[in-house]
Structure 1
């Protein structure tokens, strides 16, 4: 260790003497002073709190000087965080500009190598991100107090642009497809040489294109961490405190929303595969209106006339409820029987007893009534707790629909068609669907016998092997008479 470096161990309290450098600070611990890395320590939550018994015996003047030094150090820490935010934003803008000018512009000149749809797959909406990010950085620069940086108010800037950050959702959802396309192109040498030439012409660092395209995904996840660090060094009496606190909450919500949308879009492939496995499907595709499975289970459906009971499997999605019938022989095979529109539906909890409309006794029942068509569905669960789960699921479905309307979440026509296409391909390569007729009614194919065999041997092969019957032997044992 260098003579000017400060040695310390975990738990030591270091008094910071100089924090002007962003990476190395000058500090004092016990009897030693020296430089130490700023990333190895964290600021005490309460700088005015004494560290040991010796500090408790210090005079009033010493405490006053210590408080001033602590506040000065905290101001310097806030300045460092602000400088870090601005520095990373400038680097990020240059990074986006290099991608747009160095790669996308050159790719568009080579229509023989790249189609516009292919470029959309590889780069997503990164050009839109570049435009929004430039506007955000300009607004951020205007909020900085050049003379006293620790007084800068950045929180309001994040709040003003929080809606713009939602465009990262589309980019993050498309990023896995971009990686697959790049891995496919990496097998062709002409694309490898082309991308490398683009990088060298733009004088970019030695990182592959997929590494550059990962940066926006990492950036949107880094904002909550930076704001949390800024809030830590912002005193409650600072004018920016409430805005930074609100901005931290807002950016966490943005990151959470992006993750939720990514999960939802990953689920649409599973929903498309589920629909392709259902026999006798009728009507529009499930993905036209729905994108989330809320709840599923078996219920008894009571229908008119004569209050007929039917066991059905119900699947609650956003906007609609699908019910199917299980195959008698293969219980894993489901047949489509109908759907219920949830958008104009009232869910009524029924008490145990005789139903007024169908005049039949019911238990653990609830009714689904459509106000527009007057259609009504009486459903019964096996146990009271199952009924409560269904009622809560119906409430969650309405909350999910309302949240999607507020956030503007929807599935594009291209995403829906791609999911259905993937499901049909998987269905073709996977196990075949159930037969539309019972398997015992299908014609059995007989094995073809070789023509070179003698006729007697053919007859022997055709003769079915039967076990000796024990029927008459059993009758003779059970007969109550003798010969």
Structure 2
């Protein structure tokens, strides 16, 4: 039974005696099904087809799968809500019908976050503090680098998660993820360094008995010796790669009409983006090590002695080719490296060493595959040829491969490099994009996702400095155009519609205290109301009817009655509304309550200001005041026209998309204090960032036109 043999060897390899000898242990588990996404992909296979760097694929897959199984078991043991603890929020022993599945998913998210913080705190308390006294400073940095920072990040993240739990708290669960996503990029360095940290633990504990004994005591204090330090260090990587899965589960239990549904979709996309960023940093860290090894293996540098290979881009392919320069017609055996920017030609020496011969900037060359037929040559094993031709001069190289398939792979690698130097998308824009290494995490100007990796993560325009993914270049717009300003906080939430009962809207409750300061103001004069698009100043009933009868149903205005108040409790104000193809006029009344004047249309509801009254009936039916008038105030009579200076792609259901140059009718500036206005394009209404548009002099129904 091969499994039993491997299982026994696994136990022996992890015994204290073998560990002290410096032998790296391994684990073996029976195959099992995992509900994990392929985000945990095999990064080691990123080297592609290069024989010099290749690892047998089956060995890599089995080793990676086995390690993942072990790490998953450790994570579940330390972070699962099934572990014994006193929950900080109520957790049911079983999901009853009264306890929604969605609530349970949120509980799982918050409680596993709390458990994860405990794991980080354990690393700080039980390992870093006691071991810092006997380990070298460099060893502490390598083994525990980033743990303190991760602890501080997740304490803050957990605090925001908890604030979003109470209904009506004003916080959204999705905002916690969106607000902390950039901080989570710290995991890129942590995960890239994880294998090095684990190897360093193995190395120093195997050669120093005192450190080994101290480490054993720390592990005993942390979890009764159940898990080794190197095992616990894998938990942060497991946690950060769980968030998009937890959000996926939460979305599946959330109704599409939920106010945070779109926000949760954005949060999930953001966490997938973070996970991909981390994996690319890890992959590039491995790539950089490979490139450092290649650089160290090449001697006789001439002309580029001080140049690092990383400045040439990523390694796309390497291997043997025969090359004939058309200058001297002599065929030479060369070992070739294809990077994003250059082709490096070397002579193979002994012991995996190379002698530098030539460096060709690929931007100066093009590929010509004249014929796929075999070339007559005395060495019949190298007869598949293609040309690398210099664009500006009549010089070229003929490159010979062993087989047609190998030749095709070389041609593809060079074509990929040429496309990386000058992407096809550049033909759709006047930007001058160049492949660029960004020193800090950078967002793509088009898709707002991170450029990923450590080197040459994306493209930067040399003229206007914007950054973009390769696939986003075609949508980058005109160069030199102003960049859109940063988006303000989310717009006001759309009022939730009350359910209909027998075809009628239920009468809503009376307003409660705690409304915003703007809505609490009582206007002592009429000029202060002029900033609102629904206020038209003094206007008689007949004129208001004439103006509104040509407007859409739902158009309204607030006017000052020329005759003033004629009865007790009346004000000088009247509300005029186009509804059912007729114009309705409603007097506004005033009543003193608690020593303060309150406005009302009927005694079903009172308001501290006219602004509060209008705002309420923009979202609530007037049927509570007038039988049969089951309509809302929809369109203010005065409408300002604006032109969009930038494109705006909505991320919430109540937002209005903008295209540069389009005309927008501004309906309301109710979200002005947050940076949003409400507008209409054709028959679509929604909020948009006010800094994305400019008002034009032509307006619909201006105040001065109504005098």
Classify the secondary structure of the residue corresponding to 1:340: strand
CA displacement at 1:379 relative to structure 2: 3.6
Contact 1:299 1:314 (8 Å CA) reproduced: no
Q: Provide closer, same or farther for how the CA distance between residues 219 and 281 of structure 1 changes in structure 2, counting only shifts above 3 A.
A: same
- Is 1:153 matched up with 2:172? yes
Aligned to 2:94: 24
Q: Describe how 1:31-430 pairs up with structure 2 within 5 A.
A: 76-108=100-132, 110=133, 113-144=134-165, 146-147=166-167, 153-187=172-206, 188-198=208-218, 206-278=226-298, 280-282=300-302, 283-284=305-306, 286-289=308-311, 292-296=314-318, 298=321, 300=323, 302=325, 304=327, 312-325=334-347, 334-341=354-361, 345-348=363-366, 364-368=386-390, 378-381=396-399, 385=408, 388-395=411-418, 397-398=420-421, 402=435, 405=438, 406-407=451-452, 409-410=454-455
Q: Whose helix proportion is higher, 1 or 2?
A: 1
TM-score, normalised with respect to structure 1: 0.56
Q: Whose strand proportion is higher, 1 or 2?
A: 2
Q: Provide closer, same or farther for how the CA distance between residues 203 and 390 of structure 1 changes in structure 2, counting only shifts above 3 A.
A: closer
Q: Which runs of 5+ in 1 are unaligned?
A: 1-19, 28-71, 354-362, 412-483
Contact 1:231 1:244 (8 Å CA) reproduced: yes
Contact 1:271 1:291 (8 Å CA) reproduced: no
In structure 2, C-alpha distance between the alignment counterparts of 1:185 and 1:177, rounded to whole Å:
12
Contact 1:224 1:248 (8 Å CA) reproduced: yes
TM-score, normalised with respect to structure 2: 0.40
Higher relative contact order (CA 8 A, sep 6+): 1
Q: Provide closer, same or farther for how the CA distance between residues 346 and 135 of structure 1 changes in structure 2, counting only shifts above 3 A.
A: farther
Contact 2:117 2:155 (8 Å CA) reproduced: yes
Contact 1:97 1:130 (8 Å CA) reproduced: yes
Aligned to 1:61: none
Give the length in aligned residue pairs.
323
CA displacement at 1:233 relative to structure 2: 0.8
Contact 1:301 1:377 (8 Å CA) reproduced: no
In structure 2, C-alpha distance between the alignment counterparts of 1:22 and 1:347, rounded to whole Å:
67
Tell which deviates more after alignment, 236-245 or 269-278: 269-278
Q: Provide closer, same or farther for how the CA distance between residues 377 and 86 of structure 1 changes in structure 2, counting only shifts above 3 A.
A: farther
RMSD: 4.0
Aligned to 1:423: none
Tell which deviates more after alignment, 203-212 or 162-171: 203-212
In structure 2, C-alpha distance between the alignment counterparts of 1:404 and 1:199, rounded to whole Å:
41
Q: Provide closer, same or farther for how the CA distance between residues 135 and 91 of structure 1 changes in structure 2, counting only shifts above 3 A.
A: same
Classify the secondary structure of the residue corresponding to 1:236: coil
Contact 1:364 1:387 (8 Å CA) reproduced: no
CA displacement at 1:337 relative to structure 2: 0.5
Classify the secondary structure of the residue corresponding to 1:192: helix
